[in-house]
Copies of this chain bind each other. A is one copy, B any other.
Amino acid sequence: MANFQGHALPGSFFLIIGLWWSIKYPLKFFHEKGKKSRLSQQQQRLEVIEAAVRTVFSVIGILAEQFVPDGPHLHLSHENHWVKLMNWQHFTMYLFFAISGIIDMLTYHSTHIVPLGVDRLIMAVAIFNEGFLFYYHIHNRPPLDQHIHLLLTFALFGGSISVFLEVIFRDNIVLELFRTSLVILQGTWFWQIGFVLFPLFGAPEWDQKDEHNIMFITMCFSWHYVAALCIVAANYSLVYCLLTRMKRHGGEIIGIQNLKSDHTYQAALLSGSDEE
């Protein structure tokens, strides 16, 4: 859907997932530090729910691309002409994310069947596929339109490589936070694309051939990433503060002692032990 809504919809999806991850992964990280493998059952259920939500998002995207009034309604060709290829390409992107969601559900639901890491592989493939389609999507467009989509592929290919690394280095909090920040970046950038290409509320059109606009947009992409990093950092701190307070007020599980002992461990790591 080449309009503002068509960019706001996936933008919101990615933003929601990114924000959720920026809560989930710090939570998981502090829990694991506090006490080993305790939330097993609960956590697994949570992962299944998350994957289900992601699948639902993708299915909404699929349906929206096909059945909006000016969509292809599942017609691929008509009298030797391809019908609404743009919508079909977006459909394909959502399709991969739907598959990734389903695989995630299976992985966490039937842990003894699906080998660990397949979920990350398929997620990496889905993200790569989005970048791949975008890359060949933007020929014959005005320079600014082309560039603003090209910037997106940086987030996508970077994310794809990072998620692929998780196949081998699973449960690495740094890679997980990196992925989180890139997903948030993607979300906000989709909104930015919408605002630039389809100005709302009578805002002036952007001159799509002005070199200065392209320079600004490049820099703006960096600023979005700064914002994404700030969001991740803020939520991370929030989780830490909440967990610390819950501990202080009694009823909860993660011990500051545990965190402290871990502190000693990390301090040891920092100062001169050969852990390579």
Contact = CB atoms under 8 A, between A and B. Distances in A.
Interface string A169-199: 1111111011000000000000000000000
Interface stretch (A11-19, A58-66, A67-75, A106-114): A106-114
A219 B99 contact: no
Interface string A30-52: 01100111111101100100000
Interface string A260-276: 10110011111111111
A234 interface: no
A30 to B, nearest CB: 9
A238 interface: no
Interface of A: 28-29, 31-32, 35-41, 43-44, 47, 80-82, 85, 88-89, 92, 95-96, 99, 108, 111-113, 115-118, 120-122, 125, 129, 132-133, 136-137, 139-140, 154, 167-175, 177-178, 204, 211-216, 218-219, 222-223, 225-226, 229, 240, 259-260, 262-263, 266-276
B116 A44 contact: no
Contacts of A43: 270-272
Number of copies: 4
Nearest to A136: B218
Contacts of A112: 259-260, 262-263, 266
Contact of A44 (B99, B122, B212, B270): B270
Given A111-B266, A219-B133, A267-B111, A274 B171 contact: yes
A125 to B, nearest CB: 8
A270 B40 contact: yes
Given A112-B260, A140-B211, A174-B167, A216 B82 contact: yes
Given A89-B219, A121-B174, A133-B219, 14 more contacts: A32-B272, A39-B272, A40-B272, A47-B270, A81-B212, A85-B216, A88-B219, A89-B215, A92-B222, A92-B223, A112-B262, A115-B177, A168-B169, A171-B276
